[in-house]
Structure 1
């Protein structure tokens, strides 16, 4: 299933090394993951501080209802092979491995993949870009993409004919209360498109919950608002000890034609 990122020949694992027939070699880390990104010198993806903030927030259970909803959807489609594209620290991936035989998680953040591989020994984790995943064509029954960029062509290439893509993004009211503090004119998120070349949309779900959030800084650190907002506006959040926040998600299920 895995291919060499240099020459695209199949990889085999021998003595904790992944090797292709052209003798390109990639060492398996002690945590169990393998780095198949060719951009070794440039720091990319979430850094360790961002991973810690995201982990601290997710461990409070605010997004458990989304994770549980995704597991129910995955159960419906009886997948044997699943790729979690842009898996981060494996919060969702680990749960998917409880209902799918073979699960891979791919992310460009080495820090996130290190954490994921250390805490989930059933899934296989790989450092790689989701735009150039090191897998053969049509390797997966199901691909999940949760709050990650939409690598349309790559997801199509990776899925088997009739395979499923589960795509999760923000609903209209996601974190609206947080945005109301940061911005003078808070905005609703736009509705996503319901058309995708090469796919048929077979299910759309909108799920949301409101939670009293006390660790607002951790929430802010894992949102794109952290990088789109002036520092003076970011500091507004520190005047709040807690806030009722809406978590609103749109789930699209697509079937490859």
Structure 2
């Protein structure tokens, strides 16, 4: 017997965790049909692609994120500069059995975090198909979905932990999806995040400094139980990673061509906002 296809592997993972899913059109339960698609009782159907992901978008969605951006993001994350952040998240959600990463991109954070969680299943969702394609290519042991949280393909109270790492939030949907006693971990930049890059790109402008006060305040307004933990450190940055870092962060997208960026080290400075309903 030959090796299972990526579609068959993904279908088996989805079938094992089928109670996590709900039809994004009518919110009814889903089932896996002939290892090829997710179908609800109203016959709304979503194909499992041969690459091993399911596209559950109910509308067309343009993404500004390219394949090369996700390759750059993976290279930077694989270099280990976020290791301490990922380790902290793993400890915070150590007992979770179902983990959703919202805005997962190419899936590197989720895949690395799940290696420290025993018997857990990770699900990544992103509106950018290029990111999900990269995720399925590198991390077939997790479930990957192209989808929009505004039309969520997941069932109510289905996740023990939700991750929202340096990406936009949908707090009402997060609260709907959290299981009782589940938690949301949102990672937001602190004032020193990538400060070496910020200093060169935005020297002598208002953007050279950054505050997350408004984001933190809104988070605290959205959850009754909140913990804020800061993770900050500076570490060497390999010269070959500088272009990748510039491509993956919105700061780098506005760099003028003539601006030369020289970085020997980089600071990671983030707040981990942990919320329970």
Q: TM-score, normalization: structure 2?
A: 0.83
Q: Does 1:145 align with 2:161?
A: no
Q: Distance in 1 between matches of 2:260 and 2:244?
A: 11
Aligned to 1:10: 29
After superposition, where does 1:3-82 map in structure 2 within 5 Å? Answer: 3-15=22-34, 16-40=36-60, 42-44=61-63, 46-75=65-94, 78-82=95-99
Count of matched residue pairs: 247
Q: Distance in 2 between matches of 1:221 and 1:74?
A: 30
Equivalent residues of 1:86, 1:130 under 8 A apart:
no
Displaced runs of 4 or more, over 3 A: none
- Give per-residue Cα distances to partners, 1:100-139, cap 9 Å, x unaligned: 5222111111111111122222211100113332111111
In terms of fraction of residues, the more helix-rich structure is 2
Aligned to 2:228: 204
Aligned counterpart in structure 2 of residue 188 of structure 1, from 206, 210, 217 = 210
Q: CA RMSD in A?
A: 1.8
Aligned to 2:152: 133
Q: TM-score, normalization: structure 1?
A: 0.89
Give the C-alpha shift of residue 83 in structure 1: 0.9
Q: Distance in 2 between matches of 1:115 and 1:105?
A: 12
Aligned to 1:236: 259
Q: Distance in 2 between matches of 1:182 and 1:62?
A: 20
Give the C-alpha shift of residue 24 in structure 1: 1.8
CA gap of 1:235–1:208, structure 2 versus 1, over 3 A, is: farther
Q: Distance in 1 between matches of 2:234 and 2:210?
A: 16
Give the C-alpha shift of residue 45 in structure 1: 5.4
- Give per-residue Cα distances to partners, 1:153-185, cap 9 Å, x unaligned: 110111123211111111111011111111123
